[in-house]
Amino acid sequence: MNNVILNHSEINHKIRRIAFQIYESNVNESEIIIAGIDSNGYILAKKLKSALQKISDINPILCKVIIDKKNPWKPIKTSIKAEEYKNKSLVLVDDVLNSGTTLIYGVKHFLDVPLKQFKTAVLVNRNHKKYPVKADFKGISLSTSLHEHVEVILEGKAYEVILE
């Protein structure tokens, strides 16, 4: 059975709220890196960038983070060079924080370069972490069973978060 946890307008509301939280924690910054983990995390990062541009004069720079989710210890690629995010404020974005594996390896990658501030943002925070990683900004927290699957749809005419 599929349950819609968040509908299109609720997702847009969560994105806007997360954008305000990012702005509040970076109010003195002129530039911020929004690093989205490839596919849905990157789509969410693009939406956060757009929302930030509407509410602030911060220049958000988008970065795609490519992680092999099946083998996250393999080298991670980013669409911008390390020099471009060095000593800047960075927000690492993914759609769902489940076990924390993808996010923690993403965090580890960015720790090779000094950053001014490092935060994480997710649309859905599930409470099944096996790594000590947390979402600084989250749209919704769900207590789910391990057998359930959360699907996030951020493209097309109707965005949805579905619990299967």
Instruction: Give the pLDDT of the chain (164 residues) as one tens digit per residue.
Output: 579 999 999 999 999 999 999 999 999 999 999 999 999 999 999 999 999 999 999 999 999 999 998 998 899 999 999 999 999 999 999 999 988 899 999 999 999 999 999 999 999 998 777 888 899 999 999 887 778 888 999 998 889 999 98
Fold assignment, 3-140+155-159: Rossmann fold (3.40.50)
Q: What does the alpha-carbon distance between residue 101 and residue 87 come to, in Å, rounded to a whole number?
A: 25
Instruction: Provide CB contacts within 8 A for 130, sequence distance 6+.
Output: 99, 100, 101
Q: What does the alpha-carbon distance between residue 66 and residue 51 come to, in Å, rounded to a whole number?
A: 23
Domain boundaries, the chain: 3-140+155-159
Q: What does the alpha-carbon distance between residue 104 and residue 140 come to, in Å, rounded to a whole number?
A: 19
The residue among 106, 93, 105 whose CA lies nearest residue 138 is 93
Q: Is the pTM of this model over 0.75?
A: yes
